[in-house]
Amino acid sequence: MHRETFLKKFVMAMSMPDATDRKIIETLRANSRTSFLEIARQLGVSEGTVRKRVKNLVERKVIRKFTLEEAYDTTAIIEIVTSTQVGTDGIVKELRTVPGMQTVMEVAGRFTILCMVKTKAKGLDEVNDIIEQIRIIKGVLQTETFPVLRQG
């Protein structure tokens, strides 16, 4: 019996991650702070099972480290001038589908629409990508962008 237990542990240690291990890895890759209890609930297994599997994955060096990714928040306000030939409802609807779009408001004044975008990038490259997506929307004539330097 002792030999069987040893062989079972040896085979498990040498084997590739199974479907449950892969789901644990995917969950931790998405958010390394996810609790073992939450992972257990998602997978329909006990917390002890998740704990043992993670320990085994670490021992087998499948998981080498749990890392912290520094988050940057870049916010920009974008004012948009629209064509009088195109209704703003369609433009607003399309703007709301743009990744990073936080707020879309129709306003009175020189500009028709005011937007706030937020990205996790350190610089303005992602904001520029968002502006490019906005500019190709039918009815958008002009944009003016104001990067937020500090929020209070």
99 plus 139 within the same structural domain = yes
40 plus 83 within the same structural domain = no
pTM for this model (two decimals): 0.53
Whole-angstrom CA distances from 73 to 30, 134, 146, 151, 152 are: 18, 20, 15, 11, 14
Structural domain of residue 80, as residue ranges? 74-147
**67 lies in a domain?**
no
86 plus 132 within the same structural domain = yes
Q: How far apart are CA 112 and CA 106, in angstroms?
A: 6
Q: Report residue 63 as tokens.
A: 């998981």
**109 lies in a domain?**
yes
83 plus 106 within the same structural domain = yes
Q: How many domains does the chain have?
A: 2
84 plus 143 within the same structural domain = yes
Please, which residues bridge with residue 117 across strands?
Answer: 76, 101
**24 lies in a domain?**
yes
Question: Which is nearest to 88 in space by CA: 106, 102, 103?
Answer: 106
Task: Per residue of the chain (152 residues), give pLDDT as tens.
Answer: 566 666 556 555 556 778 898 898 888 888 888 889 999 999 999 999 999 999 988 888 888 887 766 566 889 999 999 999 998 999 999 999 998 899 999 999 999 999 999 888 777 888 999 999 999 999 999 999 999 998 77
**81 lies in a domain?**
yes
21 plus 48 within the same structural domain = yes
Q: How far apart are CA 123 and CA 138, in angstroms?
A: 28
Q: How far apart are CA 38 and CA 47, in angstroms?
A: 8
Judge residue 45's burial from the number of C-beta atoms within 10 Å of its C-beta, 0-12 exposed, 13-18 middle, 19 or more buried. Answer: middle
**91 lies in a domain?**
yes
The CATH number of whichever domain residue 31 belongs to comes to 1.10.10.10
Q: Report residue 127 as tokens.
A: 């904001």
**69 lies in a domain?**
no
130 plus 86 within the same structural domain = yes
Helix/strand/coil percentages in the chain, nearest 5: 45, 20, 40
